[in-house]
Amino acid sequence: MDYEALFKCEFKSIIDKYNMIYKALDKDQFAIAGKGFALIFTVHLGEVSISYVMPNNQGDLEVYNFQLFIVGKFNAIDREGIIKSVTIEEKVSNEIKIISRGLMNHWQGLLQGNKCWVEEYYTMFGEEGKPYKAHMRIVDKIGHLIY
């Protein structure tokens, strides 16, 4: 399955509405960059994970494992019309659709570049949610889109 084509189709409205930049990092990893941040979506073993990347106070890019935090706000409306998946490809397709809908329905501030979510994130995850320094591959591929 061409995950890139599916991703670009499902995220087109987000990319257009929030004036974001799309970047394929490889065949199973995609990013959308906005004002001072990027969201990275990774397809692995039939799952789609989400990471949030932003510069810290020293200007280094940091990565937040964002999956549980983001999808915790999703609800039945985000899943409307989703047909039960049988194959891995259908499961990934469903997840990409749900994530796109959920971001539009619940995370508009984040998509606009608002960082108000950080306080809630740390309240939820504490030190376990501490971001890690982005790998040079990420810095090289999308760093220039964030700064």
**In this predicted structure, what is the pLDDT of residue 72?**
93
Decide if pLDDT at 128 tops 90. Answer: no
- Whether the pTM exceeds 0.85: the reply is yes
Q: What is the pLDDT of residue 1?
A: 83
Q: Give the pLDDT band (50/70/90) at residue 24.
A: very high
Kindly state the percentage of the chain with pLDDT values over 70. Answer: 99
147 has pLDDT over 80: no
pLDDT of 117 higher than 80: yes
Burial class (CB in 10 A: 0-12, 13-18, 19+), 45: exposed
Average pLDDT rounded to a whole number, residues 40-63: 95
pLDDT tens readout for residues 59-78:
999 999 988 999 999 999 99
pLDDT at 11: 98
Say yes or no to pLDDT of 37 above 90.
yes
pLDDT of residue 5: 94
Instruction: Give the model's pLDDT for residue 127.
Output: 87
* pLDDT of 88 strictly over 90: yes
Question: Could you tell me how many helices (H) and strands (E) the chain has, helices first?
Answer: 6, 6
For residue 9, pLDDT over 90 is answered with yes
